[in-house]
Amino acid sequence: MPGLKPHEIEVRSMEIIDGLLPAGNWSPGERAVVKRLVHTTGDPSLAPFVKFSDGAVDAGVAALRGGCLVVTDTHMVRIGVNTNRVEALGGAVECLIADEAIAEESRRTGRTRAACAMRAFGARLDGSVVALGNAPTALREVLALAAEGVARPALVIGMPVGFVDAAESKAALTATDLTFIAVDGTRGGSPLAATTVNALLRVAEGAV
């Protein structure tokens, strides 16, 4: 629509998306997340594939308001998260994928850097928001750490993308008692994981 200001374009986009989504399927917080994911992809057909465990949005918002650590599997997710908003709430955003120690551990063990990075976070994942948009191996490692009693994140955003273990790792997540937001199937990606964190930040700030 010509002549609309940037903020007006966003508002109008959200109005259009709201009209495309079914009514009554989600809580207000869940709907806010779904709308942002649809906005990021330009694809309303994504909406039914977004899955929430009970209380997932509330848990993520509470963790962010409490100044939690936000852990990402890639720098693309880290860069996409609004770090200023996280830090304003007392938290931090971290990614270890490019650390030399992680690269060395990957070479030594033959495991992916993403899995080694999650293992390196270890107990620091406890109470965190973990946003995974690329690596199924990272999600598998988070599940392993939880099963071992090492760490239980406040929220796992499980959105690895692709055709090798992406769908399966997310199915494994949704079968646990962890608190999660996930995208079923092969779809996902770093932009969706970052968008989910940013949507939760907006809810935390009352800016939905």
So which residues are the catalytic ones? 39
Q: Order of strands across the sheet with 180-183? A: 50-52, 180-183, 155-158, 129-132, 69-72, 92-94
Identify the helix (H) or strand (E) that includes residue 33: helix 28-41
The residue type at 150: V
Contacts of 24 (CB under 8 A, 6+ apart): none
How far is residue 66 from each of residues 28, 37, 58, 69, 84, measured CA to CA in Å? 21, 24, 12, 9, 15
Which two three-digit tokens encode residue 115?
A: 């899995």
How far is residue 25 from each of residues 28, 166, 194, measured CA to CA in Å? 10, 25, 23
* Dihedral pair phi/psi, residue 129, rounded to 5°: -105, 120
